[in-house]
Structure 1
Amino acid sequence: MISSRTSRILLCGVLAVGAAAAPPAAAATPGTPGPKPGAAPGKVGTPVVQGPIPGTVPGDPKAPDVRDTYPWMSTNVNLASAGYVEQEFYVSGKADGYGVTGERVASGVPYKTRVIVRRPAHPARFNGTVLAEWQNVTAGYDLDALWSAEQIIRGGYAWVGVSAQRVGVDQLRGWSPARYGGLDVTGGGRFTADELSYDVYAQVAKALRATKGVRPLGGLKARTVLAVGASQSAGRMTVYYDNVLPKTEAVFDGFANIVGSAPSRKGAEPVFQVLSETDVRSPVRRADDEVFRRWEVAGAAHSGWNGQEYRRPILRRDLGEAPSYTCDQPPWSRVPLHHVVAASYAHLTRWIERGVRPPSAPPLELNADGSKPRDELGLALGGIRLSQVEVPTALNTGDNSGETFCLLFGTHVPFERARLDRLYPSHGRYVAAVAKADKRNVRAGYLLPGDAQQNLRDAAASDVGRR
């Protein structure tokens, strides 16, 4: 577990939505070897892939441990029943290093990392799009922040988690020396500010398209590869897009920057930024254009209830306990930001493959001082308004305070029965209002039909409006 002090330090970079959250650039190391003779400038290397790594790995005889038998944060979702598989691979090669302003500080540095793949077992289930997630390390370990099983499996995506940063890889090495002891993304300790991370991430994308050697996607053929990342990872992707990508080979077809910063450069690859209410604190926004969309979701939190509930048993399994927090308000907004993120993936894929531009969305309303005006129920105004906000049964906001990560969790305060009875005199009227709000969001393109159907089932099963 990480300390409160470490948590606060990590938080310094988490909420930098207007600017990339990234470590300072490192100075070039004297004697760093240059490009190999004849190498194409900016060419992204194709790494060596090993695997899939067996599920059971011999433990260290000095400290045998169950952690050597499965990948870190292996999902607890029954993938087999959905026609999916989870596999882990080692990826190794020689990477170039870059500072945060895009200057190359190293060339040909050996590295070895791991990727975790969750994909359809058979090509017929695959929609052709790979979500290559830059795993978030703000908590001190790799976090599959954008793994949303219901939406990803229903859509037929392949999801690939990439361990690109030192903090995550170092934690893996300590968690299971037998499984991960050979990993290193620092060039033997020479590059500890994640200078290699940009090229490592790009090389994994290159491997996902490879037709020779070990193929992480098995028999699946990737038609579209999206770079996706949340919070701090979105900040790293922003640095990559703005400063590194212009000097290197393009290997991603599009970018989904979620609850974090987005590029300021207008490049060839489209960018989709999705922000929770937590993340919007300034009226200064990049305008939508032919390669950029920004959506803001009222009532949603940077890290909400859905992700917390999914990860709690997994962290208890892999760390012995899940972290707990004492926040000033009841935490974890239940506005499903992941529903909007899933819709953004579908739009981004169509944008790339068919040139169909996604719809724009109204921004959240802001006061002159950056605070958010609220209605009589305490709900933010403007933005994408899912049925959980338009037809509320609780106060969900993006705000909170308290220890360490509390400011990221938002709030969730269920309405008292008397208020629910005033708002919804009958159960049927409540269910009809949910259906109407979701139908409007589906038509607008902010919500997928499958998620609208689940919302309707949840509303029908509730006791709201029942006396």
Structure 2
Amino acid sequence: MSTHKISGMEALPITPKSYPFSSAEKYWRISQYGYVESEFKISGTANVYQTGQHGVEIKAAGVPYVNRIIVRKPAKLADCSGKVVIEILNPTAGMDIDRIWINTYHEIIRRGDIYIGITSKPNTIKTLQEFDMHRYGDLSWPNPTPDVGFEFTRDEVLATHAAVPDQDVHYETGLFWDMLTDLAKLIRQSVPLNPLQGIQVNQVILAGWSQSADYMCTYMNNFAIAMKLFDGFLLGCPPRAFSVPINQYETMQTLRYTKVFLQKTIKPTIILQTESENVGFGAGQVPRNRTMSAEYQCREYDIAGATHDTVYSLLDYYQDDPDLKAIGCYPTYGGQDVEPNNYPIQVLFAGAYHNLCQWMVTGVAPAPAALIVNDGTENQRDAFGNVVGGLRTCLLNYPTGRYVSYSHIKLGTNGLDPNSNINGLFGHEEAFSASMLTELYGSLSHYQELVSLDTTHQVRLGSVLQSDAEYLVGYAVAKARKRGLK
């Protein structure tokens, strides 16, 4: 008899006064694209696992929980592609962040794919309840052993790259693995509990950004069921030296740097990194596997110019949201540099998502690309100050400024290192002078010709989609114009 299952699926009403946290309908009116957003409270039981001699084993069985999922899909069943992407919502900031959705939703919508976001860590429940207690008041991930304390301190966690320090004896993070497994099973079944009633699901992608991508590695490396339930995997911006434990009591378990970040994947997998993660936060100590084999179906790309956070993904998307401001969760830049990084990372995420979907259908992997050149600790830079190598666009091949992978901040405001005045997650840009741009490119019309030709080349390579090419060229030209090129 199974000790874990989803036993309840309750649709939460959406009204002008009560709506989902971080609603895509509120921010971007996805209904204008023929999409509808819904939210469900899911309940059931899950096991807590622990690391044993021969892999994971059950530590506590059948622990009850109440969680939530958000669903975004075409309003008309006939418009549904049958492909589902499940995102492990990122919990690092103490709120649910749907960054894979933010960076790929244009392509998800163009394809008619279905999106499901699942709350992945109980530290975000407090924020959800501050946002709307009536809606989220009964969310619960109870610790089956609340009387057992931790054998480590918060400072010890901060001093390692094992995890972020948000452990609490009142809840248990390790309940998540069965929640994810059971959800992936459920959406393929013709049963009343299925939140995708009437939709024939043919393929399922698992996706995550930052810490959530590390969640994916723990799941893929330790739970064999992952390769049976999912048809593809998209890992965005993972801190390679971080480790998500099987349960919170194993937070300080030694991380083996001699192991490859992702040990094995027999299903199509794409990993995207920016300049923040490819050498930052101890990543240089973690070997990178670039060899494709039957046991390792993975393409790995470094996005040159971009950083972990960008103006688009962290600031613009949230539309100056008063709800987030009211609960103290509105994201800000925090840097002291004039121009925060606004590299259009979403264009390359859309391309990667599209390529992953094609790979899953055809069995043909997308073309590889050179990684950013580095010595394990620092990225090599060209005469303009931009990185060498990596997945590139016209913004790097015909630059109008340099992309710096960090920002300067006030001392004491770095949550990971209070003694640092550098934010390595949100970089900045330094514009070239108008005279330098004129010397390089002559005129704005000539610059437009150059970036148009370059983008056509990137479309042929497959890193940029034809549907995003006009936007990318327009973005590059507008930036050049703003910086003084005439």
Asked if TM exceeds 0.5, the reply is: yes
Matches within 5 A, 1:89-108: 89-99=40-50, 102-108=56-62
Cα distance in 2, alignment partners of residues 212 and 120 from structure 1 = 20
> 1:54 and 2:13 equivalent?
yes
1:113 aligns with 2:80: no
**In 2, Cα distance between the equivalents of 1:248 and 1:458?**
39
**Deviation digits for residues 348-378 of structure 1, max 9, x if unmatched?**
22222221112111010013x6211211211
Q: What SS does the aligned partner of 1:146 have?
A: helix
In structure 2, runs of 5+ residues without a counterpart are: 147-168, 241-259, 416-422
1:109 corresponds to which letter in structure 2? V
| Higher RCO (CA-CA < 8 Å; seq separation 6+) | 1
Q: Percent identity?
A: 28
Extract structure 1 runs of 4+ deviating beyond 6 A.
Answer: none
**SS class of match (2:99):** coil
**Amino acid in the other structure paired with 2:368:** S
Closer, same or farther in 2 for the Cα pair 1:103/1:374, shift >3 Å? same
CA contact (8 A) 1:393 1:420 kept: yes
The equivalent of 1:26 in structure 2 is none
The SS at the match of 2:367 is coil
What's the CA shift for 1:315? 4.3
* Distance in structure 2 (CA, Å) of the matches to 1:304 and 1:295: 18
Q: Is the 8 A contact 2:6 2:43 kept in 1?
A: no
Structure 2 residue aligned with 1:61? none
Cα RMSD, aligned residues only:
2.5
Residue segments in structure 1 that go unaligned for 5+ positions in a row: 1-35, 58-65
Q: Deviations over 1:386-413 (max 9, x none)?
A: 1221122222232334332732011122
Distance 2:191 2:465 in 1: 36
Distance in 2, Cα, partners of 1:78 & 1:362: 37
Structure 1 CA distance, aligned partners of 2:469 and 2:236? 21
Work out whether residues 303 and 332 of structure 1, in 8 Å CA contact, stay in contact via their aligned partners in 2.
Answer: no
State TM-score, norm by structure 1. 0.82
| Corresponding position: 1:140 with 2:102 | no
Which residue in the other structure is 1:200 paired with? 179
CA gap of 1:249–1:447, structure 2 versus 1, over 3 A, is closer
| Number of positions where the alignment pairs a residue of Structure 1 with one of Structure 2 | 414
2:22 to 53, 73, 80: 73
5 Å-filtered alignment, 1:160-239, equals 160-187=116-143, 190=146, 192-239=171-218
What residue number does 1:82 align with? 33
Pair 1:259-2:237 in alignment: yes
Partners of 1:332 and 1:217 lie apart in 2 by: 40
Contact 2:347 2:468 in 1 (8 A): yes
Q: Distance in 1 between matches of 2:458 and 2:120?
A: 36
**Could you give the per-residue CA deviations for residues 117-168 of structure 1, whole angstroms, max 9, x where no partner exists?**
1111123433332121100011111111112332322232221110121112
Matched, 1:273 2:268: no
Q: Secondary structure at the match of 1:152?
A: helix
1:180, distance to aligned residue in structure 2 (A) = 0.6
- Greater Cα offset, 201-210 or 322-331: 322-331
TM-score, normalised with respect to structure 2: 0.79
- In the alignment, structure 1 residue 350 sits paired with structure 2 residue 358: yes
Local SS of the residue matching 2:475: helix
1:311-348 deviations in whole A, cap 9, x for unaligned?
Answer: 44364333326243432534642222222222222222
Tell me, in whole angstroms, the C-alpha distance in 1 between the residues paired with 2:67 and 2:172: 16
Aligned to 2:5: 45
- CA distance, structure 1, for counterparts of residue 320 and residue 41 of structure 2: 22
- Between 106-115 and 144-153, the greater mean CA deviation after superposition: 144-153
